């Protein structure tokens, strides 16, 4: 694709993302997207066959950026610390700073929008959303497993359980954040979750110190 | 309203609820609702002025039922136990049984649907959703405060924090449940949360025993 073509595709995806996060997928028309992106109908259909095709490309584009961001946060934490617990804390606090960043407050989670509109989407789009949620979870699972292996928790808990819990807290926090118009709620859930981790692992960490 | 009129209104609301939980609000047309409820356009407009009016009445009707259910669970727990911690455990486990009931698995949370479609809804509907989430939270806050007052937690934690955490876990759990097609995920989050409560309060409870 030419550089200009690439930029026009990117503009459409950015405009579509913002509209879908505001109004949902069914509540967003191709005309709304053309207007917001400042592109012609011809340019749109040059890149996307239909609204359903856009739905599929949009979530793939978003997930690419999103998972890359999570992997970068994980890599940075691993570069800075050797101890998996320290890595985990940096990973979680960096995410908290990102999600509560007041310059660009989060409007919610695109996977949640797609999940709640799943009946109107193609099967392969729904499967892709579930796979992406699992890829995201896998980043946590790997780190929790390293922590559990190094510092036996005060009660039995699996890396998978902890991962499901933090992902639920983030998704649910984003709903409350949106309902109450308060950009701090999701970060707060991650902070509470770190309190829980401290209760689980402090004893082993103290013993190892 | 006549008994027949009341029944026809109820049928419309039940059909609308099911469709909105499947397709979102923008993805549900009045025609879809008429077809699912088996009522005429005349009957619909006898009860509702517009789709926007239905949106408002639907969430009020749902919230009435929903908050009543939570208050009933709380009252039953209080009737069975004197100790606020025992009441809390019964309240949470009864909710877990309800939400994972395989006969009528939850399709998600109506407040989440409304929250993600908030831009398309009237201001007073959005305000009502936020108020309802706060009413729901208040049921938890009252009980957590009683527990905290009776059993000082091993680390400082507020009733409001714990309430925000369980509500986030339930909302996020419902998203994962829907994305993965697994009806047990939300109940599992509440179980994990009870593990956290046990770590917070077990020491005080043992000391009091």
Range of the domain at B36: 1-48
Does position A5 have pLDDT exceeding 90, yes or no?
no
- With 70 as the cut, is the pLDDT of residue A152 above it? yes
- DSSP, res B28: -
* A175 min Cα distance to partner chain B (Å): 6
Q: Return the residue in B175, B197, B198, B199 with the most chain A beta carbons within 10 A, the one to mutate for interface testing.
A: B175
Q: Considering only CA atoms, which of A195, A146, A192 is closest in space to residue A170?
A: A192
Looking at the fold, whether B59 and B147 belong to one and the same domain comes out as: yes
Number of domains in chain A: 2
Check residue A22 and give its pLDDT: 87
**Cβ atoms of residues A116 and B118 within 8 Å:** no
CATH number at residue A37: 1.10.10.60
Determine contact, residues A110/B118, Cβ cutoff 8 Å: no
Residues of A in contact with B182 (CB under 8 A): none
Poorest-pLDDT segment among A54-68, A149-163, B102-116, B163-177: B102-116
The per-residue pLDDT for A63 is 96
Q: Which of B76, B95, B73, B11 is nearest to B46 (CA)?
A: B11
The reply to whether A13 and A81 lie within a common domain is: no
Contact A26 B26 (CB under 8 A): yes
Residues A30 and A57 in one domain: no
One domain for residues A108 and A167: yes
Which tokens sit at B160?
């409001």
Rounded Cα distance, A14 and B171, in Å: 27
Domain identity same for B163 and B87: yes
Q: Is the per-residue pLDDT at B107 higher than 90?
A: no
Pick the last residue of a domain from A48, A66, A85: A48
Tell me, yes or no, if B173 comes closer than 8 A to chain A by beta carbon.
yes
B25 touches chain A (CB under 8 A): yes
Query: Which residue from B minimizes the CA distance to A197?
Result: B196
148-167 of B, contacting A, C-beta below 8 A? 154-155, 157, 161, 164-165, 167
Per the structure block, which two tokens stand in for B99? 């939400």
Tell me: do A31 and A68 sit in the same domain.
no
Note whether A200 and A122 are same-domain residues: yes
The pLDDT tens digits for A6-50 are 889 999 999 999 999 988 888 899 999 999 999 999 999 999 999
B29-72 per-position pLDDT tens digit: 999 999 999 999 999 999 999 999 999 999 999 999 999 999 99
B200:A200 CB<8 A: no
pLDDT band at A173 (very low <50, low <70, confident <90, very high): very high
pLDDT at A26: 87
Tell whether B42 and B55 lie within a shared domain: no
Residues A149 and A109 in one domain: yes
Q: Are residues A82 and A119 in the same domain?
A: yes
Q: pLDDT value at position B42?
A: 95
Is A117 in CB contact (< 8 Å) with chain B? yes
Q: SS3 of A51, please?
A: helix
∠ CA B183-A141-A130, nearest 5°, is: 45
| B37 neighbors B11 (Cβ within 8 angstroms) | yes
pLDDT per position as a tens digit, A176-207: 999 999 999 999 999 999 999 999 999 999 99
> Mutual orientation of helices B84-99 and B123-150 as an angle, nearest 10°?
140
Same domain, B43 and B59: no
Instruction: Tell me how crowded residue A163 is: count the other CB atoms within 10 A of its CB.
Output: 21
B112/A112 touch (CB, cutoff 8 Å), yes or no: yes
What is the per-residue pLDDT for A96? Answer: 96
Q: What's the pLDDT tens digit per position in A65-108?
A: 999 999 999 999 999 999 999 999 999 999 999 999 866 767 88
B20 and B83 fall within a common domain: no
Class of residue B105 by CB neighbours under 10 A (exposed 0-12, middle 13-18, buried 19+)? middle
Here the CATH number for the domain that contains residue B186 is 1.10.357.10
Size of interface A-B (CB pairs under 8 A): 156
Which band of pLDDT confidence, cut at 50, 70 and 90, is reported for residue A53? very high
The two tokens of residue B76 are 């039953």
């Amino acid at each position: 694709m030419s550089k200009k073509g690439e930029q026009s595709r990117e503009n459409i995806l950015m405009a579509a993302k913002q509209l879908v996060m505001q109004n949902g997928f069914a509540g967003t028309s191709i005309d709304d997207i053309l207007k917001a992106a400042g592109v012609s109908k011809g340019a749109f259909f040059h890149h996307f066959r239909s609204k359903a095709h856009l739905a599929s490309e949009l979530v793939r584009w978003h997930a690419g950026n999103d998972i890359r961001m999570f992997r970068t946060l994980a890599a940075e934490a691993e570069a800075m610390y050797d101890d998996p617990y320290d890595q985990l804390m940096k990973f979680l606090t960096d995410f908290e700073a990102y999600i509560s960043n007041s310059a660009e407050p989060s409007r919610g989670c695109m996977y949640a929008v797609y999940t709640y509109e799943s009946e109107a989407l193609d099967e392969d789009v729904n499967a892709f959303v579930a796979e992406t949620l699992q890829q995201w979870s896998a980043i946590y699972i790997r780190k929790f497993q390293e922590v559990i292996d190094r510092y036996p928790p005060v009660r039995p808990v699996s890396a998978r359980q902890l991962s499901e819990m933090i992902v639920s807290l983030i998704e649910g926090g984003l709903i409350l954040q949106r309902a109450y118009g308060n950009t701090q709620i999701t970060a707060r859930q991650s902070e509470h979750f770190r309190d829980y981790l401290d209760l689980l692992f402090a004893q082993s960490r103290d013993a190892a110190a």
